[in-house]
Amino acid sequence: MASKIGILTGGGDCPGLNAVIRAVVRKAINEGYEVVGIKNGWKGLIEKDTMALTLDSISGILPKGGTILGTSRTNPYKKEGAVQKVVTHYKSLGLDALVAVGGEDTLGVATKLVAEKINVVGVPKTIDNDLSATDYTFGFDTAINIATECIDRLHTTAESHHRIIVAEVMGRHAGWIALEAGIAGGADVILIPEIPIDIDEVCGLIKKRHSRGKTFSIVVVAEGAQFKKSSHVLQEQKLDEFGHVRLGGIGELLAREIEKQTGYETRVSVLGHIQRGGSPSAFDRVLGTRFGVKAVELVLQKKFGRMVALSGGTIIDVPLEAATGKLKTVDTEYYELAKVFFG
C-alpha cells in the first residue's frame, strides 16, 4: 500500500496557495507518495470530502490565485464530535501525514491535533504577514503590491480633484500591509492597529502638508486600526468559529472626521478582497514553492508538529506552537521610519 500525504488549505484565501499545492504534489510523487487533497480546509476532513491530486490536476495552477482545494473557516474544536471525525477520517484515508496550509487559526487547530496523534506539518499563509517565527508568509508580497498599485492610482485622482483620499486596507491586528504599501505608495499618513489613532494629530499633519501648497493627501489605514479610547469598527457583531468579528468601516469614520476638522473634501476607497485575489507575484510563487517542497521533506524526515518558515533567506522549520503562540506585529522602530514622510 502506497504511502499517502494529505494537504488542506484553510482560512482566508491568498495568492500562492496553488504554488504550495503544486510543490507538495510534485515533491511527494517524486518520493513515491500519493497525495490526497482535503477540500475546504478542516471542513473537508470532518466530512471526508477529498480529491486525488495528480500531476495532471496540478498542471497550470502555478499562476492562479485562490486554491483549487477550496477553503473555509471551520474550526473542529467548535463543533461537537468534529475532532473525533477528523481523527477517524485521517486514519480511514490511510494518511501518513497531513500538510496544513493556513494562518493563525488553521495552524492553531493543527497544533492541537498533534496531541491527537495526527502527523501534521504546517505551512504559514496569510496576507497579513502576522505569523511569528517566519520573516514572511506567502501572499503578503502580492497583497502589498496590489495595495501599492491602488494607492498609486488614488494619487492621480486625489491630485486632480484636490481631495483627501482615505485608503482602507486589510490588517486585523497587525499593520504590515498598511505600513509597507503606505511607504511604497508614498502615503502622507499611515494608521495601523498597533498604535491608536489620534485624529487631531492626523488632521494636523494634513493641514501642515496643505500649508506647503499641496492640495491633496493620501491616508492609508488598516481595517483593524481604532481611535484612542474606542473599540474596533465592525461590519457586524456576529463571530466566526475562531471568535473573529468582521472588521470594516474605519475608513468611513476617519474620512468624516478629517473632513469635519479640516474642511477639505475627503473620499474613501476600501480595497477589501482585491488584496487577496488574482495572480501571485513572482516572490510568492517562489516562496510557496520552497515552503511546499520543505514540507514534504519534513514528512520524509518524520519531523511532525513543525512548521516551515523563512529566516534570513533560508527555509527552516520551527515548532508549530512557536508560530501560533504570539502574533507578529509592527515594531515601533519600523513605524518611526514611515513617520519621517508623514505630512
pLDDT single digits (tens) 101-135: 998 889 999 999 999 999 999 999 989 999 889 99
Q: What are the pLDDT digits (tens) for 175-227?
A: 999 999 999 999 999 999 999 999 999 999 999 999 999 999 999 999 999 99
Q: What is the pLDDT of residue 172?
A: 87
> Do 4-138+280-324 and 140-276 share a fold?
yes
Domain boundaries, the chain: 4-138+280-324, 140-276
Is residue 229 predicted with pLDDT exceeding 80?
no
- Is 128 catalytic? The answer is yes
Q: Which of 128, 141, 188, 317 is catalytic?
A: 128
- pLDDT given at position 343: 85
Question: Which residues on adjacent β-strands are paired with residue 236?
Answer: 246
Q: Is 136 exposed, middle or buried (0-12, 13-18, 19+ CB in 10 A)?
A: middle
- Residue 323's pLDDT is what? 80
Read off the pTM: 0.90
Residue 234 has a pLDDT of 46
Q: Which CATH superfamily is domain 140-276 in?
A: Phosphofructokinase domain (3.40.50.460)
What is d(CA 62, CA 21) in angstroms, rounded to the nearest whole number? 9
pLDDT of residue 243: 53
Q: What is the pLDDT of residue 242?
A: 46
Q: What is the pLDDT of residue 238?
A: 59
In CATH terms, the fold of domain 4-138+280-324 is Rossmann fold (3.40.50)
Q: What is the mean pLDDT of the chain?
A: 92
* Whole-number pLDDT of residue 316: 97
pLDDT of residue 123: 96
User: Diameter of the chain by CA atoms?
Assistant: 75
Distance from CA of residue 94 to its chain's centroid?
A: 31
Q: How many CB atoms lie within 10 A of CB 97?
A: 23
Percentage, residues of the chain above pLDDT 90: 85
Q: Are 164 and 215 in contact (CB under 8 A)?
A: no
* pLDDT surpassing 50 at residue 24: yes
